[in-house]
Homo-oligomer: A and B are copies of this chain.
Amino acid sequence: MNCEDFSKLPIYLIGAGNVATHLGIAFHRSGIAIKSVWSRNIDNALSLSKNINSDYTDNLNDINNEKAVYIISVPDIAISNISKTLGKNNSILIHTSGSTSIDILQSYSENYGVFYPLQTFSKTTKDIEFKGIPVLIEYSNNLVNELLISWCNLIGVKSTNSDSEQRMKLHIAAVFVNNFTNHMFAIAQELSETYKIDFNLLRPLISETFEKIKSFKPKDIQTGPAIRNDHDTIKKHIESLSNNPDFAKIYSFVSESIIQMHKKEK
């Protein structure tokens, strides 16, 4: 039996972007010490380090002299190269990406895993409450599993086992429910500015949209011109958007998709 305990190893946070920032703060608040933050951009590393009482660096060689745990929260395309440097000493490599397979880490260490919090993180937003957030975990061996579970317990998140394929699928669904809905709001906001409409008039409608899907299947509460097959209104709206061909295109395709989804049902 391997009696090693990864929870005694120093933890380094690799990255200082949206996810790294919120993770770092959540770890720090839960009493999990981050020894140092690395970022390509030293100002970002410094800035995050102040919030989590850690060292900071822009040089990976400063922080790979001992066996350690690395939380790699960088753009997906950079994960492999960074892991190559950090994997020596059989260190523990944990990436936080939704759509990157765990397998990308296997050439660099025996000890690796994924810790993917299913949430939207912007540096500009307020502190996010981590409690109750689902974190999808995956691991190369039981010691990594224990480490990830202990983090989840300390932070108060809900750990869920997920292989890389399922995780990417959940990421795709997350893109629809967050990234794309937010873009619909952004379009409405831009239209409000163009048309000189008070965006606040839309807020009760936005609230109701979110309230309804707490209790109903979204498909069952679809409303609007598309589901009514109200082609006259759709046409009027698309004509009215002619100065925003990009928004007109979105309007047209999403309406068509609503019509198709509900045609299937009938």
Contact = CB atoms under 8 A, between A and B. Distances in A.
Interface in A183-206: 183-192, 195, 197, 199, 201-206
Given A172-B241, A177-B184, A223 B258 contact: no
B232 A77 contact: yes
A166 B192 CA distance: 10
A228 B76 CA distance: 10
A246 B184 CA distance: 18
Nearest to A215: B126
The A interface is mostly helix, strand or loop, or mixed, namely helix
A9 interface: no
Given A122-B221, A125-B216, A182-B213, A204 B170 contact: no
As for how many copies of this chain the complex holds, the number is: 2
- By size class, the interface of chain A is 35 or more
Contacts of A134: 201, 204
Given A75-B228, A99-B237, A183-B258, 17 more contacts: A118-B202, A124-B220, A169-B195, A169-B240, A173-B202, A176-B188, A178-B205, A178-B206, A178-B209, A179-B225, A181-B209, A182-B209, A183-B218, A185-B218, A189-B218, A206-B210, A250-B254
- Lowest 5 A-B CB distances belong to which pairs? A179-B224, A185-B218, A186-B218, A181-B181, A173-B188
